[in-house]
Amino acid sequence: MRAITAVTALASSLVLLGSTASAATDPARDLSARVSADGAQRHLIAFQRISDTHGGNRAATTTGYAASVDYVAGRLREAGFDVTTPEFEVRRKVDDAGRATVGGTSHELVPFGDTPNTPDGGLTAPLRVVPEDGTPGCEASDFAGQDFRGSVALIRRGTCTFVAKYANAVNAGAAAVIISNNVDGHLDLTVPGTIPGGSASKAGGTALAALAGQSVTLDLRHHDEVHLDRNVIAQTRTGRKDNVVVAGAHLDSVDAGPGMNDNGSGSATLLEVALKMGSRPKLPNAVRFTWWGAEEAGLIGSRAYASALSFEQQLDIALYLNFDMVGSPNPGYFVYNDPGLPYGSKHVEKAFSDFYAARNLGPEGLNVRGASDYGSFTALGIPAGGIISGGGEVKTVAQAAKWGGTAGMEMDPCYHRACDHLGNINREALGRNVSAAAHVIASYAVTTEGVNGVPSRAERAALR
């Protein structure tokens, strides 16, 4: 997962299917009951072992990622799915220089991907520090007390997304941005933008903050190398091919660690659902299960796939469901509720919300800002939604009261870190979310109309 922000409470009361079918004949309830945290955990163990034997991660273009693709594709082929692993190009960031120098002392930085390099000789400007008020850099008003024009803005990580902090600094007129970690270690981020940016360690950020107002010289340079990588696409052999339910998760980790929550949890959840559903379910609509590569580098795998779809192939997709970070150690139960998503997306939001509400979990909405693979499909006008158990968001007292866990602590303190290993997974949250995924996927495989509300193929064509 690349970036998330803005939580609001959801209210929901209607039953998802609105069907008179008994539990014994309800495919959604049946599949939801058959999937389990144990089943998903088995796949997580496989991903952890792959990471352990391939350099400590499963990042795009690495042998760890290739082994993850082979594992997922192999399990699906054994189960009888129609499986392909289409290739796509990945531009992988290679760091050439990363430092901030003040008064002859240099502090290590890691350049942001998708941001411009500093000029030859570096960029020299006054260092301005955004106050640490609990939500540093998350609001435009955080930049109001100082003149950030032409400066290097130093912002502490926390509460909102890196993208939001960076964007607010750009809007305040900053010439460059440094985001310092709030835990040990560096952050290797992709933040598309127009000014140079880099990350500092917690200690480095603290040291730089003590030098506020002084002149700092940034040397942030990187280049891209082109590699080939693969997605995994597996479709059921039964059901309508012109009203397909697409469900996806990104399979890659960041370089820093094995990526068990981000996003081994979503990948394992999706694989558990696919294998328990089987390749020939007696369901009206086909289901296309997808595992994307290079999400952490900018949704590259899903964008490559979506951009290659013809208009008729786009119309064959009824909706897209996304599963990214569903086993957070201090979990919440969030449903995507970005404003302005394509028509039909509100019904997807409601489907997940109703599932959680029926189990007294008090779901909340989250504006994910298109920062996971669903964004590649909403850009085409395809309805979409998803779930997430939280990343860098700090759990509130109210959230801890209804969900358990620890108030005042991030929902995933190991987000994008080496400690995102098997011990970083909350099994209870994983079990609830694999059940939610199974229920909603199977519900839409039964029908995408009626109370589920996603428009028919003809209506989708008329709306575009």
Rounded to whole angstroms, how far apart are CA atoms 289 and 245?
Answer: 8
Rounded to whole angstroms, how far apart are CA atoms 117 and 405?
Answer: 41
Average pLDDT for 228-248? 98
Q: Given a cut of 90, is residue 441 above it in pLDDT?
A: yes
Percentage of the chain lying above the pLDDT 90 cut? 86
415: confidence class by pLDDT, cuts 50, 70, 90 = very high
pLDDT reported for residue 24: 46
Name the maximum alpha-carbon separation found in the chain: 74
The answer on 205 and 140 residing in a single domain is yes
Q: Are 196 and 111 in contact (CB under 8 A)?
A: yes
Average pLDDT for 273-294? 98
Residues 6+ away with beta carbon under 8 Å from 283? 27, 236, 238, 239, 442, 445, 446
Last residue of a domain, one of 223, 249, 271: 223
Percentage of the chain lying above the pLDDT 70 cut? 94
Average pLDDT, the chain: 93
Rounded to whole angstroms, how far apart are CA atoms 303 and 307?
Answer: 6
pLDDT reported for residue 4: 45
The answer on 166 and 239 residing in a single domain is no
The answer on 167 and 250 residing in a single domain is no
User: What is the 3-state secondary structure of 61-81?
Assistant: CCHHHHHHHHHHHHHHHHCCC
pLDDT reported for residue 367: 94
pLDDT reported for residue 228: 98
1 or 66, higher pLDDT: 66
Average pLDDT for 8-13? 38
Q: What is the CATH number of the domain that holds 133?
A: 3.50.30.30
The answer on 272 and 244 residing in a single domain is yes
The answer on 258 and 141 residing in a single domain is no
Which tens digits make up the pLDDT trace of 125-142? 999 999 998 899 999 999
Name the nearest CA neighbour of 100 among 181, 178, 10: 178
Whether 295 is catalytic: yes
Rounded to whole angstroms, how far apart are CA atoms 318 and 244?
Answer: 6
Q: What is the CATH number of the domain that holds 44?
A: 3.40.630.10
Strand partners, 106: 101
The answer on 407 and 307 residing in a single domain is yes
Instruction: Tell me if the bond preceding 263 is cis, omega within 30° of 0.
Output: yes
Q: Given a cut of 90, is residue 205 above it in pLDDT?
A: yes
The answer on 403 and 258 residing in a single domain is yes
Q: How far is CA 450 from its chain centroid?
A: 29
The answer on 241 and 219 residing in a single domain is no
Last residue of a domain, one of 186, 204, 223: 223
**In the chain, count of helices (H) and strands (E)?**
13, 17
Q: Are 5 and 161 in contact (CB under 8 A)?
A: yes
27-34 helix and 266-277 helix, angle to the nearest 10 degrees:
120
- Phi then psi dihedrals of residue 239, to 5 deg: 95, 165
Average pLDDT for 415-433? 97
Q: Are 342 and 125 in contact (CB under 8 A)?
A: no
Angle in degrees, CA 431, 432, 437, rounded to 5: 95
pLDDT reported for residue 451: 40
Enclosing domain of residue 64: 5-86+231-463
Q: Residue 431 is inside which H or E element, if any?
A: helix 427-446
Residue whose token pair is 């409470």 = 9
Angle in degrees, CA 239, 243, 249, rounded to 5: 90
The answer on 157 and 9 residing in a single domain is no
Q: Are 138 and 3 in contact (CB under 8 A)?
A: no
Last residue of a domain, one of 194, 223, 252: 223
**What DSSP assignment string belongs to 152-217?**
EEEEE--SS-HHHHHHHHHHTT-SEEEEE-SSSS----B---SS-EEEE-HHHHHHHHTTTTSEEE
The answer on 241 and 218 residing in a single domain is no
Q: Which of 78, 132, 225, 295 is catalytic?
A: 295
pLDDT reported for residue 450: 52
15: confidence class by pLDDT, cuts 50, 70, 90 = very low
Rounded to whole angstroms, how far apart are CA atoms 98 and 215?
Answer: 17
The answer on 286 and 140 residing in a single domain is no
pLDDT reported for residue 461: 82
265: confidence class by pLDDT, cuts 50, 70, 90 = very high
The answer on 70 and 175 residing in a single domain is no
Number of structural domains the chain divides into? 2
pLDDT reported for residue 9: 41
pLDDT reported for residue 17: 35
